[in-house]
Chain A
Amino acid sequence: MVGATTLKPGEDTTLALPLLMGMHQGMEGLHVFAVDIRSNDPVDPVKTLRWRFNVKEGQP
Chain B
Amino acid sequence: MTRLILLVAGIAALAIACAPSAPAKPTPTVPLSQAKLAGTPALAFDKRQVDLGIVAQDQQTTQTFLAINLGGGPLKVGTVSVKAEQGCDVAEAFTKGTDDLKSEEAGLVFVKFGPHQKLGAHRLNVSVASNDATTPVANLSVSFTVAESAARSQAGPRLRADKDIIDIGTVPNDWPFYEEFTLRNEGDAPLNLTGKLEARVEEGC
Contact = CB atoms under 8 A, between A and B. Distances in A.
B1 A34 contact: no
A3 B18 contact: yes
Given A13-B182, A32-B203, A49-B164, A39 B193 contact: yes
Contacts of B7: 16, 18
Interface residues of A, number: 58
Contacts, number: 250
Contact of A20 (B178, B190, B201, B205): B178
Contact of B179 (A5, A23, A39, A51): A51
**In which size bucket is the chain B interface?**
35 or more
Interface stretch (B20-28, B78-86, B125-133): B20-28
Contact of A53 (B17, B171, B182, B190): B171
> Chain A interface secondary structure, helix, strand, loop or mixed?
strand
Contacts of B94: none
Given A14-B183, A16-B8, A21-B10, A39 B173 contact: no
Contacts of B6: 1, 5, 13-16
Nearest to A10: B185
Contact of A22 (B171, B180, B181, B198): B171
Contacts of B181: 14-15, 17, 35, 49
Nearest to A52: B167
26 contacts: A1-B16, A1-B197, A7-B190, A9-B189, A13-B193, A14-B5, A14-B181, A15-B6, A16-B8, A20-B177, A24-B173, A35-B197, A35-B199, A36-B198, A36-B200, A37-B197, A38-B193, A39-B157, A40-B157, A41-B187, A42-B156, A47-B159, A52-B165, A59-B31, A60-B44, A60-B175
Interface of A: 1-44, 47-60
